[in-house]
Amino acid sequence: MNLKVTSILVAVVLVGACQPQAPTRLGSASSGTPSASAAVVPSAPTSVAPVDSGAPPAALTIYGAASLKGALEQVNASYETGHPGTTLTLSTDSSAALATQIEQGAPADVFLSADITYPRKLADKGLADGAVVNFAGNVLTIIVPADNPGGLATPADLAKSGVKVIAAGDDVPITTYAKQVADLLAKIPGYPAGFATAYDANVVTKEDNVKAVVAKIELGEGDAGIVYVTDAMASAKVGTIAFPAEANVAVIYAGVVVKDSTNLVAAHAFLDWLSGAEAQLVLARLGFTAPAS
């Protein structure tokens, strides 16, 4: 099936559409006119002057969810530019794996999760310094290989017999969000009441994190997977199928400073900066939404 190349903005807006859409290619921009409907990507200024937080220079280790890898590479570079002498080392994996490592004493300064659950768990266990900070949001979409061998056209096809779904592990945030979506789809007229059960039955493998799900679909090792829109935007080898608006779930990225950090002042300065205008501009360009309050 040929996948139509559209602009990144149009592809993102499609996620909020009420009617299911056929697979769309994300990544390459076309000359199409963007939709005037409510945009998923938050509005942001075209440029923001770097702001010096006044924090002392420090070497910080940032533990970030796998879906944040590309974004954090850009965000960290901006922060280092605006904060001479500060260096940021990034380590990414599933939020669950990173939280476990921190619980076991891993030397992280800041933990950035693809949900709010794991930061709160660290806080509840006395492993966080200060409050949990929401710094970004996201939207879910379905990805299929470029040639769409499974012939998927709508979200309902995720429950079709014989479709091979690639998912992440049960403790990975994307899986929790995907299950919420499946439950919502089952309540929409036209979708079978047993949709969620049929979807689960089609899962053929569970990967360590969402990036691994994308990689499997890119290689054609599965027919479909549920990922974040930002992951789909970063790949030129997948097509997308939008979920109806009724099935949208709130994806919240949250962070916390690790209590055992040896650079608490600098760590708090970075986390505060992450929810500020300069970092939000970078995140918005990559398809992330504004943080939920």
> What are 219-234's pLDDT values in tens digits?
999 999 999 999 999 9
Q: What is the pLDDT of residue 29?
A: 29
Q: Which tokens hold the place of 148?
A: 């769409």
Are residues 75 and 171 located together in one domain of the fold?
no
**Nearest one of 79, 93, 23, 96 to 283, comparing CA atoms:** 79
Residue 40 lies in a domain: no
Q: Which tokens hold the place of 171?
A: 């403790």
Q: Are 128 and 257 in contact (CB under 8 A)?
A: yes
Are residues 187 and 155 located together in one domain of the fold?
yes
Low-confidence ranges of the chain (pLDDT < 70): 1-55, 293
Range of the domain at 84: 59-137+253-285
Predicted TM-score (pTM) of the model is: 0.82
Q: What is the pLDDT of residue 24?
A: 57
Instruction: Provide the pairing of β-strand 24-25 with 110-113.
Output: unpaired
Q: What is the pLDDT of residue 40?
A: 38
Are residues 76 and 128 located together in one domain of the fold?
yes
- List, in order, residues 6 or more apart from 33 with CB less than 8 Å away: none
Q: What is the pLDDT of residue 51?
A: 52
Residue 54 lies in a domain: no
Dump strand ranges (E) for the chain.
4-5, 24-25, 59-65, 87-93, 110-113, 128-138, 140-145, 165-168, 203-207, 224-228, 238-241, 251-258
Q: What is the pLDDT of residue 119?
A: 99
Per the structure, how many domains does the chain have? 2
Residue 102 lies in a domain: yes
Q: What is the pLDDT of residue 264?
A: 97
Q: What is the pLDDT of residue 52?
A: 54
Q: Domain with 258 in it: what CATH number?
A: 3.40.190.10
Residue 234 lies in a domain: yes
Residue 43 exposure: Cα atoms within 13 Å on the Cβ side: 3
Residue corresponding to tokens 């070497």: 59
